[in-house]
Amino acid sequence: MEPDTEVIYKVSAYYAPEHDRGLLWNDLALGIDWPVSEPLLSEKDRSHPLLRQMPECFTYKPIVNG
């Protein structure tokens, strides 16, 4: 959230567009109080679905202690 910030990340394989997923950044269901109202976004990022509209992409099995 600082001016001139760069994000760099490492990946382990080439880009696979069939696995590309996204979520609308300002979905109210996420409960994130973003300090921006009009970020610079690509058309792709502006058109991501809301959380409730997304297909199930991950499964989660909680670890139960005991």
Tell me the pLDDT tens digit for each residue of 11-37. 888 888 888 888 999 999 999 999 988
Residue with tokens 């994130």: 32
Among candidates 32, 23, 26, 18, which has minimal Cα distance to 52?
23
In a domain, 43, yes or no: yes
What is the C-alpha to C-alpha distance for residues 51 and 48, in angstroms, rounded to an integer? 9
3-9, long-range: CB < 8 A, 24+ apart: none
Predicted confidence (pLDDT) at residue 66 exceeds the cutoff of 80? no
What is the C-alpha to C-alpha distance for residues 64 and 35, in angstroms, rounded to an integer? 36
pTM of the model: 0.61
In a domain, 64, yes or no: yes
What is the C-alpha to C-alpha distance for residues 10 and 63, in angstroms, rounded to an integer? 29
**Overall domain count for the chain:** 1
Domain that holds residue 51: 22-66
In a domain, 56, yes or no: yes
In a domain, 12, yes or no: no
